[in-house]
Amino acid sequence: MMNWGVVTVLLLIVAGSAMATEPAVNERQASYREAGASNFDAARGEGMWNQQQMQQEMRQSVSCASCHSANLRTVGKHIRTGKLIDPMAPSMNAERLTDAAKIEKWFRRNCKWTWGRECTAQEKGDFLQFIQSR
């Protein structure tokens, strides 16, 4: 069992480098630049990730970390349904940030739910910079 765990981790690392995040992230960030954003910053992204905001229906403060956890390498938990969410870090989960349409779909849903509004191009670029670095 143990050996399989090690093998799996090794294989995931190999798979991870094969399913790189660059194409989707570069494409997204280029389109954010066209919308006027620039100098994407991972530290700023991390700050926003943990920024608490009052969620009207939950009647409590929430952040991106409420479902994805603050440490992107760990498993998250959906704050309303309790479902486990695979780690956000591409280093742990090779499927992350590989599909531009999926990224936009979840930005739209999650920004609206968490912050009550859509995220700006600058904010999305900073988030991607942060997530990609983990």
Partner 1 sequence: MKKITFWGTILLAVCLTLSISSLAWSDSRSDDGSSHGLWSQQEAASQVMNKTYQNECSACHFAYPAGFLPARSWVKIMGTLENHFGENAELDATDSQEIEQYLTAQAGDQDPGRFSRSFMRSIDNVDTPLRISETAYFRREHREVPSGMVLDNAKVRSFANCASCHTGAEKGSFNEHEIVIPDHGRWED
Q: Does 78 bind ligand HEC (CB under 6 A)?
A: yes
Q: Is 69 exposed, middle or buried (0-12, 13-18, 19+ CB in 10 A)?
A: middle
> Site map for ligand HEC, 6-45, x if CB under 6 A?
----------------------------------------
Q: How far apart are CA 89 and CA 12, in angstroms?
A: 13
Distance in angstroms (rounded) separating the CA atoms of residues 49 and 44? 9
Six token digits for residue 134: 């983990």
* Residue 103, binding choice from ligand HEC, partner 1, none, Cβ under 5 to 8 Å by partner class: ligand HEC
Among 132, 114, 128, 125, smallest CA distance to 65 is for 114
Which does residue 57 touch among ligand HEC, partner 1, none (CB within 5 to 8 A, set by kind)?
partner 1
Q: Which does 4 bind (CB under 5 to 8 A by kind): partner 1, ligand HEC, none?
A: partner 1
| Nearest distance in Å: CB 66, partner 1 | 13
Burial class (CB in 10 A: 0-12, 13-18, 19+), 120: middle
109 binds partner 1 (CB under 8 A): yes
**Contact flag: residue 102 with ligand HEC (CB under 6 A):** yes
Where does this chain bind partner 1 (CB under 8 A)? 4, 8, 11-12, 14-15, 18, 57, 78, 80-84, 94, 108-109, 112-113
